[in-house]
């Protein structure tokens, strides 16, 4: 929804701000190709965009921002590209730790961090620990994450609890199941943004996005700026959410 009258002068905070925004940061490779640069340069620009967007979300009062940084399928990419993404994450986490006092953003990871390089895993754990006291803005970084993998892990953990006598199959409800996901305790995303021109979910938040509003943009992720985010929020403000009702 647009801003009106004197408020516009005071602040550029959109009037309707989704509580939880999820983003598939797509189009880094194409952004780079168009400029005759290596794909890794696109990821570096994408990491900068992520930092700016997280900061704007905090400023505008978004409570949860969930970004898809690396999927369970992304290991299929050339080794050089995989290590460039890991290096960018390392750099980001190091800087985030240094800047935490200023930004006060809580950082959490969704995904299985165990196959990651040991140094990156430790850095991720340290960032989570040190930022746990911050808020109200929380950034969930999906790393070695896949929606189907998350559902299988949850099903397996619930079955194991049943086998151990801690749960019974009859107890399984949507609420109980949700608590076995990486996103346990976090509200579902209200708005799911996919820049980069593709219109698909790519194994992202399959359970959680059940009632999310989708916003697709042709802008490649590295070019996704404040104005693009404002357009996405404006489109969201016009949606009528019925959750299956009338």
- Residues identified as active-site: 26, 74
- Look at the block and give the residue holding tokens 């940084």: 69
Query: Which residue from 55, 74, 178, 202 is in contact with ligand FPP, where contact means CB under 6 A?
Result: 74
Q: How far is the CB of 114 from ligand FPP (least distance, A)?
A: 19
| C-alpha distance from residue 57 to each of 62, 188, 226 (Å) | 5, 17, 10
Query: Which residue from 20, 23, 43, 195 is in contact with ligand FPP, where contact means CB under 6 A?
Result: 43
Query: Which residue from 21, 41, 47, 137 is in contact with ligand FPP, where contact means CB under 6 A?
Result: 47
Closest listed residue to residue 158, CA positions, set 177, 183, 145, 173: 177
Query: Which residue from 30, 104, 153, 239 is in contact with ligand FPP, where contact means CB under 6 A?
Result: 30
H helix runs in the chain, sequence order: 5-10, 28-34, 39-60, 79-103, 118-131, 147-163, 174-178, 226-237
Should residue 146 be labelled a site residue for ligand FPP when binding is judged by CB under 6 A? no
If the CB atoms of residues 170 and 199 are measured against ligand FPP, the closer one turns out to be 199
Closest listed residue to residue 109, CA positions, set 83, 127, 136, 130: 127
Binding mask 178-217 for ligand FPP (x = CB under 6 A): ------------------x---------------------
If the CB atoms of residues 92 and 182 are measured against ligand FPP, the closer one turns out to be 92
Should residue 153 be labelled a site residue for ligand FPP when binding is judged by CB under 6 A? no
Closest listed residue to residue 58, CA positions, set 240, 229, 234, 232: 229
Should residue 106 be labelled a site residue for ligand FPP when binding is judged by CB under 6 A? no
């Amino acid at each position: 929804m647009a801003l009106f009258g004197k408020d516009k002068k005071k602040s550029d905070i959109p009037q309707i701000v989704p509580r939880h925004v999820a983003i598939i940061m797509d189009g880094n490779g194409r952004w780079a190709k168009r400029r005759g640069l290596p794909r890794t340069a696109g990821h570096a620009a994408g990491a900068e965009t992520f930092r700016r967007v997280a900061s704007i979300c905090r400023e505008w009062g978004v409570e949860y921002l969930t970004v898809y940084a690396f999927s369970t399928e992304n290991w299929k990419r050339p080794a050089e590209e995989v290590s460039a993404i890991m290096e960018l994450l390392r750099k980001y986490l190091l800087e985030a730790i240094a800047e935490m006092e200023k930004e006060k953003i809580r950082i959490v990871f969704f995904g299985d961090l165990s196959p990651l390089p040991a140094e990156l895993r430790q850095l991720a754990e340290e960032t989570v620990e040190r930022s746990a006291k911050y808020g109200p803005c929380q950034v969930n970084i999906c790393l070695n994450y896949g929606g189907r993998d998350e559902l299988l892990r949850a099903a397996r953990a619930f079955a194991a609890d049943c086998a151990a006598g801690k749960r019974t199959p009859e107890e399984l409800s949507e609420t109980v199941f949700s608590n076995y996901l990486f996103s346990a305790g976090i509200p579902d995303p209200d708005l799911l943004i996919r820049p980069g021109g593709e219109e698909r979910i790519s194994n992202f938040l399959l359970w959680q996005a059940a009632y999310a509003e989708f916003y697709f943009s042709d802008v490649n992720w590295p070019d996704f700026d404040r104005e693009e985010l404002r357009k996405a929020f404006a489109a969201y403000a016009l949606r009528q959410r019925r959750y299956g009702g009338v």
